[in-house]
Amino acid sequence: MPAILNFSKYSSIRWSHLLFLVAIFCIASQGCSVSQTAQQANKVLVNKDAPIFDKRFQDISIDDIDLKKFWTRLDDVEGSRDRDPISIDNQTFARISQSVKSAVVNIYTVRLEEKDAKIGIDPNSLLPFNIPIVSSILDFVPFQVPVPFNSEGLSLGSGFLINEQGYILTNAHVISNAIDIRVVLSEEQREYPAQIIGIDRLSDTALIKIDPDFRPNVLPFGDSDALQMGEVVLAMGNPLGFQHSVTSGLISAKERISPHSKDRFVNYLQTDSAINPGSSGGPLINLHGEVVGINTAIIQKAQLIGFAIPINTVKEVMGMLIIGEDERGWFGASATPISNKEAAELELNSSDGLILRGVEKLS
């Protein structure tokens, strides 16, 4: 396992500035991304015994934890507002942005990446000139064998503080396979080393921790179930390395299935608030200043179609994140909703219900 990198060797330039320059280079060259996608983060290259993992809760159970002490509600925040309708003027978004900005963090990581090195000879390089038919044949014949190896890469993303002890929520794919994590707060403009408390790849959520030497601002949790289509929301994060950027939009829809998901565990919030690479892990905020989702994914070839994990889903998996456990019960069968066509073919009175598609052995 590689040792944690010594960031002091970059003493002539701030580490966050270095990553920003790397991000801009990647965008210009289109040679890499500024953060991992959920698919790239699925393979585990750094196990839970690595120094990057904080193991303080590994010997306790979920029943021993008062989960509500890990986050705050709006009622707990000094100067909280009631649920009367909020009048919007030209300063409304500015006031909300200023109230939440200090709790939104930028996350920079050094992570392991699996790559392939080709061992062998490239016959085409030996030809004096290119012969299309011959080159195609030589490309087809496996003269070179791919050999996987691990290398170190840079990544950036976003997150937000949820309590005064320095616990931060983000996406699993932001810090997956990280061997070093640095967090930058807007108020202090200082870099804090962070450790991973827990990762849940199925919901793409993660909990990390810093040790702040001051009392940080935190964001209260809202109720994502209470959101309505058309409700105004703000997204804040670290898109493409531009720290603490804020965008506004609407809740376009609820209970969406992300095109990046291989399962239907998470019913995402869809929003047209601009989300870009590097925004992953940042908060989606309602006009009461509450977090209602974690910005997670976009459709690359579309405009203003983004997805956020509902904060109520995060509340459900918080216990697993705290104790560092991501195993779930296994039903052992697969099923899908009945379509109208299938209901007609089966002569059913309605399309309510499920069709059992398969049963796993030993389940």
Give residue limits of the domains in the chain.
7-115+150-323, 330-363
Q: Point out the residues that are catalytic.
A: 173, 204, 280
Q: Indicate whether 12 pLDDT > 50.
A: no
pLDDT value, residue 3: 35
CA distance 175 to 189: 20
Q: Quick one: average pLDDT of 111-120?
A: 72
**Chain mean pLDDT for the chain:** 79
CB count within 10 Å of CB 84 equals: 6
Q: Which residues contact 95 (CB under 8 A, 6 or more apart)?
A: none
pLDDT classification of 26: cutoffs 50, 70, 90 = very low
Q: 23-27, 235-239, 346-350: which has the minimum mean pLDDT?
A: 23-27
Please report the DSSP string for 294-310 in residue order.
EEEEE-TTSSS-EEEEE
pLDDT classification of 97: cutoffs 50, 70, 90 = very high
Segment of 257-271, 300-314, 319-333 carrying the highest mean pLDDT: 300-314
Segment of 133-142, 300-309, 310-319, 343-352 carrying the highest mean pLDDT: 310-319
Q: Quick one: average pLDDT of 320-331?
A: 76
pTM, two decimal places: 0.76
pLDDT value, residue 161: 96
Q: Quick one: average pLDDT of 332-348?
A: 82
CA distance 87 to 66: 36
Contact 86, 92 (CB under 8 A): yes
* Residue 275 structure tokens: 């989300």
Of the CATH numbers 3.40.50.720, 2.40.10.120, 3.40.50.2300, 3.10.330.10, which one belongs to the domain with range 7-115+150-323? 2.40.10.120
